[in-house]
Chains A and B, each alone.
Chain A
Amino acid sequence: MSEHDHHHHDHDHSELSETELRVRALESILTEKGYVEAAALDAIVQAYETKIGPHNGARVVAKAWTDPAFKKALLEDASKAVGTLGHVSRVGDHLVAIENTPGRHNMVVCTLCSCYPWEMLGLPPVWYKASPYRSRAVKDPRGVLADFGVSLPKETEIRVWDSTAETRFLVLPMRPAGTEGWSEEQLADLVTRDSMIGTGFPKTPGAPS
C-alpha cells in the first residue's frame, strides 16, 4: 500500500466494505500502471469540493436580476456571458440560460443519465440522478414539484428541458418581490440551487432560511 493510501483511507475504519476494497484496488492498479498520479486524484476531489457549487450560479442569476444588458447577453449565449464574469468559475461551451416568467416555469432533468451544469451548480444532488426524478419529471412535472413542496398556478406552462446532449441548462428564476434596491451580493443569497434547476423558488426576503 502506498503512502497515499495510508494518508487517505486508514482512518478509524477497521472494516472496509466490498465496494471500498474494490475502489482501493482499482486505484492501486491505475496508479501502479502509471496512468494517474495519486496526488492528481486528490487534487480533483479537492477541486470539486472547493471550486464549484451553486454559489457560482447564484452570482450569475443575481447579476442578471440587476443588469439588464447582462441578462440579455445571458439569454442569448450563456457561456459567453458567464465568461465575461471573471470572478465566476470558468464555464464550458453550450450553457443555455432559460428564463422563468409569470406564464412559464422551466425545469431541468436528464432522463438518460445525470447531465447537469456542474460549473454553475456543482455536482448534482442524489435525487437529481435517481430514478424517481428522472422517470417522472417529463411526464408528471407538477407531481414532482409537489414532492418538493412547490406548487404553481394551474394555468402556468411548465417547460421541462431534458438534457440529452452536451448542452447544459441553467434556470433563471424570477426575482423575488420586495428586493428593490438590493445589491448583487444580497440577491445572490436568495438564489437556491433548486431554483436554478426549476424544482424550487428563490428564498423570500425576510423569511427564515
Chain B
Amino acid sequence: MNGVHDMGGMDGFGKVEPEPNEPMFHQEWESRVLAMVRAMGAAGAFNIDASRFYRETLPPQVYLSSSYYKKWLLGLEALLLDKGFISKDDVAAGHSVAPAKSLKHGKFSIADVERIMVRGKFGRAAPAPAKFKAGDRVRAKNIHPATHTRLPRYVRGHVGVVERDHGCHVFPDTAANDAGEHPQWLYTVVFDGRELWGPDSDPTIKVSIDAFEPYLEAI
C-alpha cells in the first residue's frame, strides 16, 4: 500500500538526532510491547509480514505522531482483534472476558524464549528457476498494490542492475494476508542515484533494495 510508512525520499522530517548513551527502552512498557509482539508471533497468532502490515495500516496521522513502540502496540491490538484472539469486550474490560482462541503453536512459554532470539527462516525451496542473474538490467515495476508490499515507491519505474541472488524467500505480499508463502526469488538490485533522484543528484550515490522477482521486469 502507498502508506506514509514508505518514507524513502520524502523531505521535511528534519535532522537525524542520535541520542548519546541511548537506553534500550525509554519506558518499561516498551519492553512489554516488544515481548508481547514476539511471543504472540512465535505462538502462531501472526507472521512478521502481517505484523508489519497492521502497523502500516494505522491512519497516517497516527503513524506519524506515535512513537515506535506505540505503533507496535496499536498494530498488535488491531491484529489480535481482527484475527479474533482478543475481543472488543476484553479490551474495554482490561481483562479477558471472552473465550480464548487456539494458537497454531500453542501457549508461549519460557522454554520458547531461546528459539526466538534467532530470526526465523525465510528461505524456501525454489518452485521455478530464477528469471534473473547478477548483471542483468531490470526495471522495478510501476505497481501500486493496495495491500502489503516490500517494493518501495521511490524505485518503481526505475532501472537498476541485479547484483546478488539471495535464493527463494517467503513472499511478504501474500504472506501478510494469509494468502500463503508463495516463495519468490530475491535479488539485490542497485540503482544509480541519478536514476532515482534526477540528474542534479549526487553522482556518487548508489542505492540498493532487495527485490522479489514479481517486483521486476526484464528490459
Q: Is A32 an interface residue (CB 8 A)?
A: yes
Asked if A144 contacts B16 (CB within 8 A), the reply is yes
Asked if A41 contacts B35 (CB within 8 A), the reply is yes
Asked if B34 contacts A94 (CB within 8 A), the reply is no
Partner of B18, one of A21, A127, A131: A127
Using known A-B contacts A30-B36, A113-B55, A147-B15, determine if residue A8 contacts B119 with beta carbons closer than 8 Å. Answer: no
Mask of A1-18 contacts with B, CB within 8 angstroms, 1/0: 000000011000000000
Query: Which residues of A sit under 8 angstroms from B36, Cβ to Cβ?
Result: 26-27, 30, 36, 41
Asked if B211 contacts A164 (CB within 8 A), the reply is yes
Asked if B95 contacts A32 (CB within 8 A), the reply is yes
Asked if B17 contacts A163 (CB within 8 A), the reply is no
Distance, CA A34 to CA B28, complexed state (A): 23
Query: Which residues of B sit under 8 angstroms from A30, Cβ to Cβ?
Result: 36, 39-40, 86
Using known A-B contacts A164-B151, A167-B186, determine if residue A43 contacts B13 with beta carbons closer than 8 Å. Answer: no
Query: Which residues of A sit under 8 angstroms from B172, Cβ to Cβ?
Result: 165
Using known A-B contacts A36-B39, A162-B207, A164-B209, determine if residue A94 contacts B122 with beta carbons closer than 8 Å. Answer: yes
State the Cβ distance, A83 to closest chain B Cβ, in Å: 10
- In the complex, the chain B residue whose C-beta lies closest to that of A111 is B8
Distance, CA A39 to CA B111, complexed state (A): 10
State the Cβ distance, A209 to closest chain B Cβ, in Å: 12
Query: Which residues of A sit under 8 angstroms from B202, Cβ to Cβ?
Result: 140-142, 158
Query: Which residues of B sit under 8 angstroms from A167, Cβ to Cβ?
Result: 166, 186, 188, 210
Using known A-B contacts A23-B32, A92-B120, A141-B205, determine if residue A33 contacts B68 with beta carbons closer than 8 Å. Answer: no
Distance, CA A91 to CA B118, complexed state (A): 6
Distance, CA A141 to CA B208, complexed state (A): 13
Distance, CA A140 to CA B10, complexed state (A): 10
Q: Is B96 an interface residue (CB 8 A)?
A: yes
Distance, CA A159 to CA B28, complexed state (A): 36
Asked if A122 contacts B24 (CB within 8 A), the reply is yes
Q: Is B137 an interface residue (CB 8 A)?
A: no
Interface centre among B18, B100, B212 (most CB of A within 10 A): B18
Mask of B139-152 contacts with A, CB within 8 angstroms, 1/0: 00000000000111
The chain A residues found within 8 Å of chain B, CB to CB, are 8-9, 19-30, 32-37, 39-45, 47-49, 51-52, 89-94, 96, 109, 111-114, 118-119, 122-123, 125-127, 129-142, 144, 147-148, 154-168, 194, 199
Question: Could you write out 29 A-B pairs with CB less than 8 Å apart?
Answer: A22-B73, A26-B76, A29-B94, A30-B36, A40-B108, A40-B113, A42-B35, A48-B31, A91-B119, A93-B121, A93-B123, A96-B164, A112-B8, A113-B55, A118-B119, A123-B24, A123-B34, A126-B22, A130-B13, A131-B13, A135-B9, A139-B8, A139-B196, A147-B17, A160-B205, A162-B8, A165-B186, A166-B48, A167-B210
Q: What are the 9 closest A-B residue pairs judged by CB atoms, nearest first?
A: A92-B119, A111-B8, A25-B94, A32-B96, A165-B210, A33-B100, A44-B35, A41-B35, A166-B122
